[in-house]
Structure 1
Amino acid sequence: MGTNHPLPWLNLMVAEPFYLFHFLTFFSYFIVRSSATQALSSQFSDRLLHREIQAILAFLVLTVVKGFLMAVALIMDYHLALCYMVGFLVIFVLTQQPAYHELGNASQLTPLQLETLLTEGNTSRFWLVEFRALCSSRCIRTSRFMSDLSITYSNKNFSFGTVDLGHFPNAAEKFGISLGVSMGQLPTYILFDNAVEVSRFPEVDYEAKASTPTIRKNLLCRHFELDRRLIDYVSGR
């Protein structure tokens, strides 16, 4: 529904404290700057303007908002820099980055809906399902992957879905997923072929619990051979 709004990012900014506080903290610098200008000598103001231009150029290269603030704040006064450090720390502790809300061509499923889809003969042969819990920061960081992959790779033969184990924790045992943070199994991606699991990521390895690689879209593409499966579908194989 958010995509129909002329300014969906504005709704997100107002609704999510994570973005709102970062927005307010960033633009508070300009208020501090304008207030301080009256108390600064013209020579210092010119030197500060020169430094600000340097910081803006660095910002354009690095595209790091916090780095811009910290660089300029350190030039003006290390006390101000310390205040911004504390401010960002408070935002980090009190707020959480929201998950990506757009589903693309992926379906948001309950465990019962998933079981029904897998057992029905008239649905896609392949289902790639992400099992996640949005209380996990790792799941939040990867929350847009299924949407992006589904837009590229979904077809009549291959479908995508997500199941939130935060809402249905009892389903974790059924699919062999540990909800423990130390196990590194959230999110888990399982590929079903005609209702039978044929591959999963990360693979269950109780001897190497801490060695789960960083989840990336290209890693998921390779692991589940999405490009090959799409070519097979297009070529009619």
Structure 2
Amino acid sequence: MSFKKDLRLLVKPYYLINILLSVSYIIAKRLPVICNYIFAQDGCEFDGRETQILFFLITVVMIRTRKTGSVTMINYLTSSFMYTKGANLILWFYADVRMGILYAFIFILFALVLPEPMYQGPENVIYLRGANGLQEELQRDTRMVWLVAFYTAWNPACVTFAPIFSELSAEYALENFKFGKVDVGRHPDAAAKYHVSDASTSKQLPTLILFKDGKEVERRPYADHKGKLVKFLFSLDNVKAAFDLNNIYSDCKKNPIKRKEKKLLKAE
């Protein structure tokens, strides 16, 4: 996603409100007009405890957003909102319990009425129903190449990766090169069959698996020879390179399924 696209997204209410909530305490504390009214004090400076909380917040945001594989401004913001708003909640409660309760109410209210904007661009993705649904598609015609994303709706890294996967499907999908998605939160049987952890602390979400001839040939992230998971940043360019999508697309386009074979497949 380009920087210009990021800027266009920032004007949407979801991002504007969340940015405001994320810096609300700093603004209230540093602006004398607001500070004197809310905190009823002349010196609008952070005390030692507030400074500690803010430094801790900066550290956590930097670490956690890198772990989720965030690579654009919008991705960084989306990944950090939960931590920044949590820190603001603590700061408001620390300053005044009543203000903390009010902030918590606003926090929850906007979370309900302003969900994160979903990707609305073109996509060519087939949503599969669990392990059986995926297995049926793989066995329907083993000449088909499949790139399948295993995800959950609640995982921030999966949410961040969703528009990237949609863009890839719109660019590369062919009649013999399919893009599929399996929600392992709703279909834990798929998670078990393909060894993808769906736990809240899982480092395997999302997981991308490439299937050729009905069998897995590549996945990200993957475990090394010691069984340790190798970190992977799910950016557009990284996915293209890791799965060699340009060459797969070229090979599939050179070897399309013939019309007679297509009719036989539909009849089956």
TM-score in terms of structure 1 length:
0.60
Query: Identity of counterpart residues, as a percentage?
Result: 23
Alpha-carbon offset, residue 170 of structure 1: 2.2
Match of 1:189 in 2: 208
Q: Is 1:125–1:193's contact at 8 Å kept on the other side of the alignment?
A: yes
Please state if 1:172 is matched with 2:191: yes
Local SS of the residue matching 1:142: helix
Are the aligned partners of 1:124 and 1:156 in contact in 2 as well (CA < 8 Å)? no
For residues 86-235 of structure 1, the aligned pairs below 5 Å read: 86=89, 87=103, 91=107, 95=111, 98=116, 100=118, 102=120, 104-111=123-130, 112-121=132-141, 125-205=144-224, 207-209=227-229, 212-235=231-254
1:61 alignment counterpart: none
Gaps of 5+ in 1: 1-8, 27-64
C-alpha contact 1:22 1:91 (8 A) present in aligned 2 = no
Which whole-Å deviations, capped at 9, do the CAs of 1:54-108 have from their partners, x for residues lacking one?
xxxxxxxxxxx977996798456463799x9555997389839647355710011
Runs of 4 or more, structure 1, over 6 Å off, are: 65-73
The AA in structure 1 aligned to 2:14 is Y
Q: Using the alignment, how far apart are the partners of 1:143 and 1:92 within structure 2?
A: 24
Query: Offset of 1:231 from its aligned partner?
Result: 2.4
Q: How many residues in Structure 1 have an aligned counterpart in Structure 2?
A: 180
In 2, Cα distance between equivalents of 1:214 and 1:160: 19
For normalisation by structure 2, the TM-score amounts to 0.54
Matching residue's letter, 1:115: Q
What is the Cα deviation at residue 217 of structure 1?
A: 1.6
CA contact (8 A) 1:126 1:191 kept: yes
Residue aligning to 1:22 = 17
Alpha-carbon distance in structure 2 between the residues aligned to 1:225 and 1:143: 19
List gaps (5 residues or longer) in structure 2: 1-8, 39-43, 47-84, 90-102, 257-268
Quick one: structure 1 residues 229 and 98, their matched pair in 2 at CA, closer, same or farther if it must change by over 3 Å?
same
